Amino acid sequence: MSSNSNSNRNFMAIDQYGQTYHDLGQHPRKELMERIGCRHVSKMYHDREDASAIHVGYVVGQHWCTLYEVKPYEGRVYD
């Protein structure tokens, strides 16, 4: 299975207070809405130096949640 496949992607989020939300699965927006108990969500963007904007998370109620994709670490073994 390819590492770019959506079927095995998993996300976590950290809000502005440092609260972490683990195991958000493939649908982090829906999962954050359920956990925080809010029905309104807005996308959160970050401006780059080249004036473009990238989607970095969601504003769920009063929580500004930055998303991170969780990937397994595969380090090189040294003798």
Instruction: Indicate whether 3 belongs to any domain.
Output: no
Residue 41 maps to a domain: yes
Count structural domains, the chain. 1
In a domain, 1, yes or no: no
For residue 78, tell me if it sits in a domain: no
Query: For residue 78, what pLDDT band results from cuts at 50, 70 and 90?
Result: confident
The answer as to whether 79 is a domain residue is no
Domain containing 33: what range? 9-70
What is residue 79's predicted lDDT score, i.e. its pLDDT? 72
Confidence (pLDDT) at 6: 56
Question: Tokens 């380090």 — which residue?
Answer: 75
In terms of Cα–Cα distance, which of 53, 74, 57 is closest to 21?
57
What's the confidence (pLDDT) of residue 1? 38
For range 54-66, the mean pLDDT: 97
Residue 61 lies in a domain: yes
Distance CA(47)–CA(55), nearest Å, equals 9
Asked, for residue 38, whether it belongs to a domain, the answer is yes
Residue 8: strand, helix, or coil: helix
Compute the average pLDDT of residues 1-15: 74
What's the distance, Cα to Cα, between the start and end of the chain in Å?
Answer: 29
